[in-house]
Structure 1
Amino acid sequence: MWRTAPPFGELMAGCRRSALHLEMRDHYDDPDEAPRVEAWKSGYRPDPADRATWWRPWLDLVAETVGRGVEIRRARIVSEPVSEYTRYLYDGTFTNIAAGERIRWLPRKKASALALPGNDFWLFDGRLVRFGYFSGEGTYLGDEVTDEPAIAELCATAFESVWNEAVPHADYTV
């Protein structure tokens, strides 16, 4: 069944084993993130020693979720050479990893033989899929969730295919 997604915090709170996230866009235009992107463009980089300045409340949610024993993995399919926005993501990824996420990068040209859903998604516990919808410019348009088993299986298979081909963050360079 398809329905409007509940708040993301509720989805994470209900998660017991795994939360998998596949990102396939080279740019996201999030007004809440715009100040961080502009600061990055001006030369600001998160200080590894100053966790209080990192992206809140997201990283707190990740740390709490991982602390409950949930594995969080994120795979990013990226065009190369990478976009400016992807460089921004890359420079801040150490904070996600410090909070407990595992992250890999897959150059888009290596994804050509993979069957992928048409939209970014989160897969919770292998059964609930949250698709995020974006405009061509990267503006967030909304999301839906479904617990249809065939769609969950499609997303699980797609994610694992990407994960197996992707490069761990520590080994990927932009």
Structure 2
Amino acid sequence: MLLAQGEAFDALFREAKREAFHLEVRDDYYPPDYPPLVRFLNNEPEDYQWFQPWLDQVRETTNRGVAVNRARVVTVPHNDYTRYAKHVAHLNVEAGEDVRYLPRHLIKPDELTVDDWWIFDDSVIAFTVFEPGENGKWLGGAVTTDPRIVAYIRTVKERVWSMATPLSEYSEP
């Protein structure tokens, strides 16, 4: 596997022809003192300028006719981060991304992966790599096209996506 970072990771989106699909399985991605999360919890205004590069990438990708899909497997009751991510996900949807949620208790642990990943056109996998630690910084994607890994990830993707609820219909059970 090769670690794709920055431009190399972004190229995976530009090279996609049909779909970029992301599975998220963690309940936290930032420490509790992450400024946008703190602003959200304190009901303070946010301009989301820090998020614009991602939203631009989603728009560029979907404008080429490539679907950008995201499934989040979340613990219920939702923690502060999940509530925050769900709030921000409306911006993802406005940019063209389809974001869906699956409560963790509705799927068996052995039907998931323990890692987050992207799959591009059902053929290229980029396992999300974080710095060590519970809230480690995102480092990039460990990329593989190994047919056995791809087949397994496709199975997980299809299972999760079929069970997940679109953001517009999802409410915490």
Structure 1 and Structure 2 fold alike (TM over 0.5): yes
CA distance, structure 2, for counterparts of residue 64 and residue 72 of structure 1 = 10
> Which residue of the partner structure matches residue 41 of structure 1?
41
- SS of the residue corresponding to residue 111 of structure 2 reads coil
Which one of 82, 86, 92 corresponds to residue 86 of structure 1? 82
CA distance, structure 2, for counterparts of residue 141 and residue 35 of structure 1 = 16
Report deviation, 1:138: 2.4
Which one of 96, 118, 121 corresponds to residue 92 of structure 2? 96
Tell me if structure 2 keeps the 8 A contact 1:103–1:169: yes
Q: How far does the alpha carbon of each residue in 1:45-86 deviate from its partner, in whole angstroms, 9 at most, with x for none?
A: 668xxxx85721100000010000101110000000011000
Q: How far does the alpha carbon of each residue in 1:10-66 deviate from its partner, in whole angstroms, 9 at most, with x for none?
A: 111111110000000000027xx933222212213668xxxx857211000000100
Over 3 Å counting, the alpha-carbon distance change for 1:138 and 1:165 in structure 2 is: same
> Which residue of the partner structure matches residue 3 of structure 1?
2
> Which residue of the partner structure matches residue 134 of structure 2?
137
After superposing on structure 2, the runs of 4+ consecutive aligned residues of structure 1 that deviate more than 4 Å are none
TM-score, normalization: structure 2? 0.87
Is 1:74 the counterpart of 2:74 in the alignment? Answer: no
CA distance, structure 2, for counterparts of residue 140 and residue 6 of structure 1 = 13
CA distance, structure 2, for counterparts of residue 101 and residue 45 of structure 1 = 23
What is the aligned length? 168
TM-score, normalization: structure 1? 0.87
The 5 Å alignment of 1:5-44 reads 5-7=4-6, 8-29=9-30, 34-44=34-44
CA distance, structure 1, for counterparts of residue 117 and residue 56 of structure 2 = 21
Which deviates more, 148-157 or 70-79? 148-157
CA distance, structure 1, for counterparts of residue 46 and residue 165 of structure 2 = 23
CA distance, structure 2, for counterparts of residue 16 and residue 99 of structure 1 = 18
Which one of 45, 55, 58 corresponds to residue 59 of structure 1? 55
CA distance, structure 2, for counterparts of residue 156 and residue 127 of structure 1 = 9
Amino acid aligned to 1:5: A
Amino acid aligned to 2:65: G
Tell me if structure 1 keeps the 8 A contact 2:36–2:46: no
Tell me if structure 2 keeps the 8 A contact 1:16–1:70: yes
Tell me if structure 2 keeps the 8 A contact 1:20–1:74: yes
> Which residue of the partner structure matches residue 156 of structure 2?
158
Q: How much identity, in percent, do the aligned residues show?
A: 37
Tell me if structure 2 keeps the 8 A contact 1:45–1:92: no
CA distance, structure 1, for counterparts of residue 77 and residue 44 of structure 2 = 22
Gaps of at least 5 residues in structure 2 are none
Amino acid aligned to 2:88: G
Question: What is the root-mean-square deviation in Å for CA atoms of aligned residues?
Answer: 2.3
Over 3 Å counting, the alpha-carbon distance change for 1:63 and 1:166 in structure 2 is: same
